[in-house]
Amino acid sequence: MADGSPVTRFDPYAARAQFPILSRTVNGKPLVYLDSAASAQKPRAVIDAMVRTMEGSYANVHRGLHTMANETTEAFEAARESVARFLNAPAATNIVWTKGGTEAINLVASGIGQTLQPGDEIIVSEMEHHSNIVPWHLLRERRGAVIRWIPTLDDGSLDMAAYADLLGPKTRIVSVTHMSNVLGTINPVRAITEMAHAVEAQVLIDGCQGAVHAAPDVQAIGCDFYVFTGHKLYGPSGIGALYGTAEALEALPPYQGGGEMIETVTATEIRYAKPPHRFEAGTPPIVEAIGLGAAIEWLSQFDKAAVTAHEKALYDHARARLNGVNWLRVIGEAEGKGAILTFTVDGAHAHDIAQVMDRYGVAVRAGLHCAEPLAKRFGLTSSARASFALYNTLEDADAFADALIKAREFFA
């Protein structure tokens, strides 16, 4: 576990049984939930931790001296410690609570933006989620920054040679995804970081998918910032975290003003708190943070390699079931990719495919997946996406293939 306890043998059926919602039916069929890349479901351990806090020991954190305030503060800060262990951060003080990955990226962009000069360059990739594009566009509009784009190759991998050519003396920050939410591509984030640091640029890694399915070891990666969100990591929504090195966080100005993020306030001056509290203005998402801590502790009981192998087996099984069909286009087949299957079907809109599959209880996502530049790169106006998680089974993979074949027959 995250505290160093031995991991347990991974049994996907036992893990699935810990998710109450997965026992329900949809349209009279057993639910096959393949939309975890958007939001994962929550195990009983997370639900119980949040309910237990609200029912038995809830108070505001840090500011009280009474028993319940102390109990809640201890649980809240214990969750921060869980995040630090999960990411292999040097200390809990490297972890800033945010509302999610989006706010974490905006926090960093806002801080760095205050020192950007016109012509300074920001490097992102074509496969980024809008949350890792729009904050940098705001700096382009407001500060005159220049955004430069790492191309995506036909198989869905990054063009690392092109990336090397983009780096230069004007590069201020490189901000890339650990794992694409559309392609499933797992990027070489350590190499990306080393190359950026060689030109004295900072690096932010969007780990909203990578924290779940890759290896979120921030010290091994060497990045300046790493962000992730709770709701994709089997935790609640409304909570996420920003990791920053001590030096990177100390250099950032406050993101928001209010209580908690100050040392003193007078009529004529403000002295700000040290990180991480400098960036946590106001009452934080207390129950959600405790829920995320519970999710991390729950997830950490499983052998990471076994979970990854299980998810890959499901992806491979689904692909094998669909081998030979001439109406299916799979988007993204980079070596070592995660278990995300994004596809189009000849003669049918992705939205229609998703709706027909829902009739059979199979939940997939359809649209641009908040990655419009990537869709344009592959000539797509929409695509469907099945994303496998640790609680999915071979029966789910078969149900997906069966439902997709039936949906195709519906529009043939």
Q: Which residues participate in catalysis according to the annotation?
A: 370
Tell me the three state secondary structure of residue 385: strand
Instruction: List all residues 6 or more positions away from 171 whose beta carbon is below 8 Å from its beta carbon.
Output: 121, 122, 123, 148, 196, 199, 201
Q: Which two tokens stand for residue 408?
A: 């195709």
Bridge partners (DSSP) listed for residue 33 = 363
Using an 8 Å Cβ cutoff, are 88 and 271 in contact? no
Q: Which two tokens stand for residue 245?
A: 């090195």
- Residue 305 is given by DSSP the state H
Cα–Cα distances (Å) from 346 to 328, 362, 398, 405, in that order, read 6, 20, 21, 12
399-409 per-residue burial string, b: 16 or more CB within 10 A, e: under 16: bbbebbeebbe
Q: Which two tokens stand for residue 162?
A: 């092109």
Strands (E), 25-113: 25-26, 29-30, 32-33, 95-98
Among 63, 2, 54, CA closest to 290: 54
